[in-house]
Amino acid sequence: MDALALEAKVAKSESAIAPAPAPAKPRPKPPKTTKRIVYFEVEILDIKTREKLLLLDKVSKKKVQTSELSWCPYPSLSHYLCEEKVNGCVILLISEGKPLRDEEILQELPVGTTATFYFRDLGAQISWGTVFLIECIGPLVIYLLFYFRLPLIYTPKYEFTASKHLVVHIACVCHSFHYMKRIVETLFVHRLSHSTMPLCNIFKNCSYHWCFAAWMAYYINHPLYTPSYYGEKQVKAALALFLFCQLGSFSIHMALRNLKLPSCKIKKIPYPTKNPFTWIFALVSCPNYTYELGSWLGFTLMTQCVPVLFFTVVGFIQMTVWSKGKHRSYLKEFKEYPTLRSPILPFIL
């Protein structure tokens, strides 16, 4: 036993003294492969004269947005920055095509290593928000001038007099409420996809709204105005329709605002929310125009005035054109877009 214990002790001491094995050598790292750099040559031509305005050679950035191409050190382009509100420009991939968006990526466009773009001067520009405010403030002020019967509008004996018909005062409140709502929505609700529009359009837009406001206000506030045929019942029903559609219009605008985040460029399909006024999204692509039409139908029934009816018909035709264009855009952009929806009127139009 003593001999076995002695041998085990000797073996243990020898194993402790034995040197540790040498560490394994690290494997050599594979050589780094150099990434291939693709260079682009970008030229911008004037869309009218085909004069070369800018040439960018060896554009090697991973991503180049088209908004970077809208500026150059040459005087012929530098004062047409897309960011400006007075003068604007657009960059086009083909001379007859649509303008490229600022978020378009050069490497994702159907171009080769040599890309040719076209520059178009849009002329004097004005922001959409400014146009909307001027459009709405004008009718609001003009209608009140006729409501208070300022001098030189009617005969002198009716200056600064009030109408004896209650519907005239209700109509003034409804008309003012409508345009005040639009002003608030322009300032705090709407997120406009286009920042500017041609300056000459402001005269066309304002003349349409201002002239119609004066035409309607003249007859509604006229001393010889005749109230609704069915009296108080007709006024109450029309007022209910007007207020319902005004609330619906505001709800739709809020839903569209929440759908379009300020920092996100991705478009989404609008769907009904928990708000009952938005359930019409299941049947209509542009319910804001549907509610707008309902508001003016209510105002027409309330006042029973021919100029208001004419304004409603003209507005309906214009909104139908806009809604059909928006509906086609939805169908083209989203393959899963609900086919049950109509542009402005459910199952009809």
User: pLDDT digit string (tens) for 320-335?
Assistant: 999 999 999 999 989 9
Rounded average pLDDT over 55-60: 68
Residues of the chain with CATH 3.10.20.90: 39-124
Rounded average pLDDT over 152-162: 90
HEC secondary structure over 257-289: HHHCCCCCCCCCCCCCCCCHHHHHHHCECCHHH
197-212 per-residue burial string, b: 16 or more CB within 10 A, e: under 16: bebeeeeeebeebbeb
Tokens of 4: 């076995």
In angstroms, rounded to a whole number, what is the distance separating the alpha carbons of residues 8 and 289?
98
In angstroms, rounded to a whole number, what is the distance separating the alpha carbons of residues 237 and 300?
12
Q: Name the more confident of 193 and 81.
A: 193
307-332 per-residue burial string, b: 16 or more CB within 10 A, e: under 16: bbbebbeebbeebbeebbebbeebee
Q: Report the Cα 335 to chain-centroid distance in Å.
A: 21
DSSP code for 69: G
Q: At what angle do helices 287-303 and 166-188 cross, to 10 degrees?
A: 160
Amino acid 205: pLDDT: 86
Share of the chain above pLDDT 70, in %: 71
Amino acid 95: pLDDT: 46
Query: Read out DSSP for 153-184?
Result: TS-GGGTT---S-HHHHHHHHHHHHHHHHHHH
Rounded average pLDDT over 157-165: 90
Amino acid 77: pLDDT: 43
Rounded average pLDDT over 132-151: 94
For 223, residues 6+ apart whose C-beta sits below 8 A from its C-beta are 149, 154, 155, 158, 161, 163
User: pLDDT digit string (tens) for 208-230?
Assistant: 999 999 999 999 999 999 998 88
In angstroms, rounded to a whole number, what is the distance separating the alpha carbons of residues 285 and 319?
12
Looking at CATH, the fold of the domain delimited by 39-124 is given as Ubiquitin-like (UB roll) (3.10.20)
Share of the chain above pLDDT 90, in %: 48
User: pLDDT digit string (tens) for 215-273?
Assistant: 999 999 999 999 988 889 999 999 999 999 999 999 999 999 988 776 666 788 999 99
> Residue 33 — very low, low, confident or very high, per pLDDT cuts 50/70/90?
low
Whether the per-residue pLDDT at 294 is higher than 70: the answer is yes
Whether the per-residue pLDDT at 136 is higher than 80: the answer is yes
Tell me which residue of 255, 241, 286, 242 sits closest to 185, measured CA to CA.
255
Q: Name the more confident of 338 and 59.
A: 338
Quote the pTM value.
0.75
Amino acid 256: pLDDT: 92
In angstroms, rounded to a whole number, what is the distance separating the alpha carbons of residues 198 and 183?
21
> Residue 47 — very low, low, confident or very high, per pLDDT cuts 50/70/90?
confident
Whether the per-residue pLDDT at 307 is higher than 80: the answer is yes
